[in-house]
Amino acid sequence: MELSVEYIRIAAYLGAGISVGLGAITTGIGSGIIAGEGAYGVMKQPQANDQLFRTMLIGQAAAQTAGIFALVISMLLIYGGFDIVDGGWFRAAALLSAGLAMGIGALGPSLGAGYSGGEACKSVARMPKHGNAIMGNMLIGQALSQTSAIFALVVSLLLLYSVPNQPAGLSTGKILLKSISLIGAGMA
């Protein structure tokens, strides 16, 4: 079966939707965890409102990193001009996999950053005098948890801008089977 430009575009659009969809869901949950704990902390310790607000806002900004990466990959997939048929089904699988890699890669970092930000807000509500030290620890933990999102971004960019060589005699079924198995291995 001959590959047309429409299939390439469909793969790019599906990848973009998956990337930004999963990225938005997880950053929303992560930021919501932080906001909930911040609001609970203000209720528990009203005089620590300024310190809690600062911790909450900085924690939420760090939790958005993977969502921003997912948005960048989605924009590249939509507007990157990937309507070249070179590479055949490998190109379509690479575009779809780029979106999947970034979308799934955003799951852990966003939720992890949300959890650490929420716990930091709890801690500031309990001990407002140590708010700066707590926020410093939160930021280090969140920065380290974002490394897997950076790895997903790098892999997505490699998938977008590498031109796969399609070996002669390779069927579409084999291509899909290998793509799915590689995605599964990456998730393990």
- pTM listed for this prediction: 0.82
Report the alpha-carbon angle 152-32-23, nearest 5: 25
Cα–Cα distance, 163 to 153 (Å, whole number): 17
Q: Provide the residue ranges of all domains of the chain, joining segments of one domain with +.
A: 5-187
* Residues 69 and 106: beta-carbon distance below 8 Å: yes
CATH number for the domain whose boundaries are 5-187: 1.20.120.610
Q: String of b and e for 2-31 (b: at least 16 CB within 10 Å)?
A: ebeeebbbebbbbbbebbbebbbbbbeebb
* Token pair listed for 138: 């939160």
Q: What is the pLDDT of residue 161?
A: 85
- Residuewise pLDDT in 10s, the chain (188 residues): 567 888 888 999 999 999 999 999 999 999 999 999 999 999 999 999 999 999 999 999 999 999 999 999 999 999 987 777 777 778 888 899 999 999 999 999 999 999 999 999 999 999 999 999 999 999 999 999 999 999 999 999 999 888 666 666 666 677 677 777 777 776 65
